[in-house]
Amino acid sequence: MKIIILSFGLVLLLVGCLAQPTQQYTLTVMVATRIPQLVGSMTPSQTSSPAAPPTQIPAATKEATLPRTPIPSPTPNLPATVIAIQQPRLYASYPSPDGKWRTEIIIYDCIKMPGRDEAGGDENAYEKLMIINLASGEEHLADEQLQYCGGVGAFGMEGLFWSPNSRYFYYTTAREGSPDGCGVYWIPPFLRLDVTDLSTTYLGGGPLSPDGTKIATWQWQLQEQINELMVWDINYDKIARLPAYSNIAETGSIAWSPDSQTLAYIQVESICPISGKSYLVLVDLINQEERLLLESESPTFGSVEWKTINELNLFEANGKEWRYDFLTNELTQVP
């Protein structure tokens, strides 16, 4: 008899809960699902009064109102916008020596971007380097450059040359302008496109050898925190990798010997402005060895040229020229 009274009590509790606001829905469902279990566990003599069926809850009460997270505005795709509103033009085309490839530089000139302020920085340009397989006609995007018109710095892609074996295409991303700052030594960087896998490699800035077979560049190695002199064979890969003589001085100009077998370079303690100690270093590529030729603070040298086999021409920041003689190891000022 106690159990029957308990059953009716639970039913009354159920009805009372159903009359409450919809936020009590979770509790109501729990009680309603417990009643059939309780009745099912009774003996026939205990179930003379059938349990009342659970009241149906309107479907609308099952939905909870959750706070909505604002959806951020998408970042504009500037290259796609420039392409959509500006007509492209072919800047240059470069066929490979074997006739199997052609690279093209396509330019989308500066154009005002929709919705941008009238203040500076509201125009963009875009360039892309395409490589075309002439046998299949397939085109691939090899490199691209988004430009902010009216800014400072170096910009623009320019094809330089193909390797004689047609494996590599060399180009620069600094066709026009120069970096902002007071650095004296700067050469537009070399980049290399490999047609075997369509990858690009940044080689750094530096001179091409007089015989046209090698490139010497500076590269900053982030992990080791050092500058390295890299020498590349234009048909293959790097053939020398040497740390700069001083790990605290700034790297300066690189000069090839007239026979393309030896290098000389300058390092200086400060380039803004050029001051402090300067170092003149000779590099033997055959043995891959470096040798200090000269250390000078007065004058301080910022650049070097190699015009004749036995002499180096050194230059101060003010343009004064000096001559270093390999045979006598003497340094004299040029009148």
Residue 193, in any domain of the structure: no
What is the secondary structure of 277-298 as a DSSP string?
EEEEEEEETTTTEEEEEEEESS
Q: Which residue has the higher pLDDT, 219 or 102?
A: 102
Provide CB contacts within 8 A for 303, sequence distance 6+.
Answer: 184, 185, 252, 253, 266, 314, 315
User: Would residue 114 count as lying in a domain?
Assistant: no
Domain of residue 29 covers 2-46
Tokens of 207: 């001179």
Confidence of residue 185 (pLDDT cuts 50, 70, 90): confident
Tens digit of each residue's pLDDT (9 = 90 or more) over 232-270: 999 998 999 999 999 899 999 999 999 999 999 999 999
Which of the listed ranges 30-34, 74-78, 103-107, 109-113 does the model predict with the highest average pLDDT?
103-107
pLDDT at 181: 67
Asked if residue 38 has pLDDT above 80, the reply is no
Residue 105 lies in a domain: no
Number of domains in the chain: 2
Residue that wins the pLDDT comparison between 314 and 237: 314
φ/ψ (deg, to 5) at 29: -65, -40
Residue 96 within a domain: no
pTM of the predicted structure, to 2 decimals: 0.74
Residue 53 one-letter amino acid: P
Local structure of residue 141 (DSSP, 8 states): E
pLDDT of residue 42: 39
| CATH code assigned at 246 | 2.120.10.30
Q: Is 85 helix (H, G, I), strand (E, B) or coil?
A: helix
* More confident site: 1 or 321: 321
